[in-house]
């Protein structure tokens, strides 16, 4: 089959005959994006406070709810054939969608750079352990350029070439082998009954652990339609996306909790990586590390799609420019100071997609045959109410968790305002 790069206009629907992703393609993509070094490290955050049993429960419930919402937004891409930001114009209006598109570009450039930094730091640490401190293999600049170039190349090639030529044919099998290897080693070397009996120290409330777990799938809400718009059928988009991400994310986050408790109980990320490398897991860890480049690919490609929606330029050209920018940021910028800003931007998208889900499935009944106009004020007001709810809960009731309540309230407001519109 002749696979093209993603040269489709971000503002126009993919023709039905060009929607080629089946269930296997989508499962492969979302299993891969649910797996990664950052997912492993996020699981480690839950370990001290919740313990193994509490951590696994928070991860399972958070991921289960999150993937149901993620896959539902994926169906919007399949129904409309539109990219994520273009689909927002149906709910917010053509002018109203420009703000989330701009915010999405900013956050994705930041997260793309952050992914490159995560890969660079891990590769430098493993290189220093395998060879020696100060060797070429432990040079952060080298690894920044390597991973930046790899992620940019994948982003320029587009999702069709990446998923069908690389990921589905052999990438997912290597990733499954790495996950199975990590799992077998854990069962062989860790005292799991003792870990299961060990309770958390209470430093993290269960609701916060749930909020962290649900944030993993929800972080992909502004991106998913960029890929699900290539899906053949809405049913396979929902099922394959939900199952792929659920298995991948729950598996890796759970391994992060268990390995941290077994080998790096202080929860320090570098200690966890060194413990994994010291346990003879260099090869599976390397495969997980390479898989992280797929997350950077998705960040860079979707930033290009969102930029293309705003600027009406070719996606592959924008992907090259954005990949270079992400690499330069990873080389030069103190991104640790930027992380809070990234989280602040991310807080607007959970309530936004609560609004969009209700608008698409209930108010418009999955119809894309609408003329949205410049601004849709009921939708914008419901979104604003959800964002305000998120920050009120995050600032005054942090133990409750803010993500899901803000999304649900924004959806409820949209339902109420949409009935009156």
Q: Which ranges in 81-139 belong to alpha helices (H)?
A: 84-92, 98-130
Instruction: Please tell me the predicted confidence (pLDDT) of residue 278.
Output: 64
Confirm if 279 and 186 have CB atoms less than 8 A apart: no
- DSSP labels, 39-85: HHHHHHHHHHHHHHHHHHHHHHHHHHHHHHHHHHHHHHHHHH---HH
What is the rounded CA–CA span in Å between residue 235 and residue 221? 18
Instruction: Please tell me the predicted confidence (pLDDT) of residue 65.
Output: 94
Distance of alpha carbon 146 from the chain centroid = 22
96-114: b (≥16 Cβ within 10 Å) or e: bbbebbbbbbbbbbbbbbb
Tokens representing residue 361 in the block = 């499935």
Sign of the alpha-carbon torsion through 358, 364, 370, 373: negative
Instruction: Please tell me the predicted confidence (pLDDT) of residue 2.
Output: 37
The one-character DSSP state at 15 is P
Instruction: Please tell me the predicted confidence (pLDDT) of residue 169.
Output: 80
Tokens representing residue 214 in the block = 């649900």
Instruction: Please tell me the predicted confidence (pLDDT) of residue 171.
Output: 82
Helices 339-346 and 349-358 sit at what angle, rounded to 10 degrees?
20
Residue 312 contacts by C-beta under 8 Å, 6 or more apart in sequence? Answer: 9, 11
Along the 421 residues of the chain, how does pLDDT read in single tens digits? 333 444 566 778 888 888 999 999 999 999 999 998 889 888 988 998 999 999 999 999 999 999 999 999 999 999 999 999 999 999 999 889 999 999 999 999 988 998 999 889 888 888 877 676 667 777 889 999 999 999 999 999 888 888 878 888 888 888 899 899 989 989 988 888 988 988 888 888 898 899 889 988 998 999 999 999 999 999 999 999 999 999 999 999 999 999 999 887 665 666 677 677 666 667 787 888 888 888 999 999 999 999 999 988 889 899 999 999 999 999 987 655 555 665 677 788 999 999 999 999 999 888 767 666 788 888 999 999 999 999 998 888 877 878 889 999 999 999 998 776 5
The whole-model pTM stands at 0.90
Instruction: Please tell me the predicted confidence (pLDDT) of residue 241.
Output: 97
What is the rounded CA–CA span in Å between residue 340 and residue 347? 11
What is the rounded CA–CA span in Å between residue 116 and residue 332? 12
What is the rounded CA–CA span in Å between residue 383 and residue 370? 20
307-328: b (≥16 Cβ within 10 Å) or e: bbbbeeebbbebbbebbebbbe
Instruction: Please tell me the predicted confidence (pLDDT) of residue 159.
Output: 87
């Amino acid at each position: 089959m002749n696979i093209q790069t993603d040269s489709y206009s971000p503002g126009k629907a993919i023709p039905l005959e060009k929607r080629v992703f089946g269930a296997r393609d989508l499962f492969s993509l979302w299993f891969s994006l649910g797996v990664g070094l950052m997912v492993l490290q996020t699981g480690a955050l839950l370990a001290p406070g919740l313990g193994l049993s509490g951590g696994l429960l928070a991860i399972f419930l958070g991921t289960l709810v999150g993937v149901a919402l993620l896959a539902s937004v994926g169906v919007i891409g399949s129904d409309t054939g539109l990219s994520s930001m273009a689909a927002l114009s149906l709910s917010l209006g053509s002018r109203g969608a420009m703000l989330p598109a701009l915010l999405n570009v900013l956050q994705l450039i930041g997260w793309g750079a952050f992914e490159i930094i995560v890969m660079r730091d891990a590769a430098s640490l493993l290189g220093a352990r395998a060879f020696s401190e100060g060797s070429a293999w432990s040079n952060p600049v080298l690894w920044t350029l390597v991973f930046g170039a790899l992620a940019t190349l994948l982003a320029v090639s587009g999702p069709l070439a990446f998923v069908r030529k690389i990921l589905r044919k052999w990438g997912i099998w290597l990733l499954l082998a790495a996950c199975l290897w990590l799992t077998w080693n854990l069962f062989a070397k860790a005292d799991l009954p003792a870990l299961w009996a060990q309770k958390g120290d209470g430093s993290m409330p269960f609701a916060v652990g749930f909020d962290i777990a649900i944030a993993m799938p929800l972080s992909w809400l502004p991106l998913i339609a960029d890929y699900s718009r290539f899906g053949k059928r809405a049913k396979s988009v929902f099922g394959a996306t939900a199952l792929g991400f659920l298995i991948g994310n729950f598996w890796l986050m759970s391994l992060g909790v268990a390995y941290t408790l077994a080998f790096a109980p202080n929860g320090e990320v570098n200690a966890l990586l060194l413990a994994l490398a010291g346990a003879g897991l260099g090869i599976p860890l390397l495969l997980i590390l390479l898989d992280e480049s797929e997350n950077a690919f998705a960040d860079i490609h979707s930033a290009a799609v969102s930029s293309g929606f705003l600027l009406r330029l070719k996606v592959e050209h924008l992907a090259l420019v954005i990949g270079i920018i992400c690499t330069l940021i990873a080389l030069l910028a103190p991104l640790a100071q930027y992380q809070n800003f990234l989280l602040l931007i991310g807080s607007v998208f959970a309530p936004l997609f609560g609004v969009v889900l209700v608008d698409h499935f209930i108010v418009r009944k999955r119809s894309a045959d609408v003329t949205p106009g410049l601004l849709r004020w009921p939708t914008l007001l419901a979104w604003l109410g959800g964002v305000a709810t998120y920050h009120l809960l995050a600032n005054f009731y942090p133990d409750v968790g803010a993500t899901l309540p803000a999304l649900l309230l924004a959806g409820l407001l949209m339902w109420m305002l949409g009935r009156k519109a």
